[in-house]
Structure 1
Amino acid sequence: MTGPPPHPSPHPHPHPPEQLPVEAALYEAGFPLDLLTEEQRLVLSELTPQELTLLLDVKNRLDAVGPEVQAHGEIAGGALF
């Protein structure tokens, strides 16, 4: 007996990119989660979406100036930090 084809799942992936778990988003952004304690990872996993967005924005801005800061540190002998 044939019927209509089954409807595809509205969410084919368990976590669409815009709804990744906090740890996955942080890992993809380059946070060294494997160096953190379990307690630190727990704190990060409890971030609200707004906190996560803010944290990722701050990291992106820090990364954007990272090479410049590193170059100044090498030239100035690390006197800046």
Structure 2
Amino acid sequence: MTTPDPRTIAVLAAAGFPVDVLTDEQLQVFATLSEEELTLLLDIKSRLDDVEPEVQAHGSVAGGALF
């Protein structure tokens, strides 16, 4: 198991992830992401942000898990 890295949460918050609404368990999962997983998640968020008006309308359908 990967050791939790609290810096990961700071990186996610800086990228616009709403970390303040996540449960402790969810934060634990995010804090244990590998460097590759974090990079992928940030890339996906960046691409979604690039098309925000189109994705934003579907936020309630998708559950907003990544936003």
Aligned partners of 1:28 and 1:50: how far apart in 2? 18
Aligned partners of 2:55 and 2:38: how far apart in 1? 26
- 2:31 matches 1:30: no
Aligned length: 54
Q: 2:48 aligns with which of 48, 57, 62?
A: 62
Q: Which secondary structure state, in structure 2, belongs to the residue aligned with residue 34 of structure 1?
A: helix
Superposed CA RMSD: 2.2
The two structures have a TM-score, normalised by structure 2, of 0.71
Query: 1:43/1:66 Cα in 2 relative to 1: closer, same or farther (>3 Å)?
Result: same
Runs (5+) with no aligned partner, structure 2: 1-5, 62-67
Match of 1:51 in 2: 37
Identical columns (%): 48
Larger RCO: 1 or 2 (CA < 8 Å, sep 6+):
2
Query: 1:39/1:65 Cα in 2 relative to 1: closer, same or farther (>3 Å)?
Result: same
**TM-aligned CA deviation for residue 23 of structure 1:** 0.5
Structure with the bigger percentage of helix:
2
Runs (5+) with no aligned partner, structure 1: 1-19
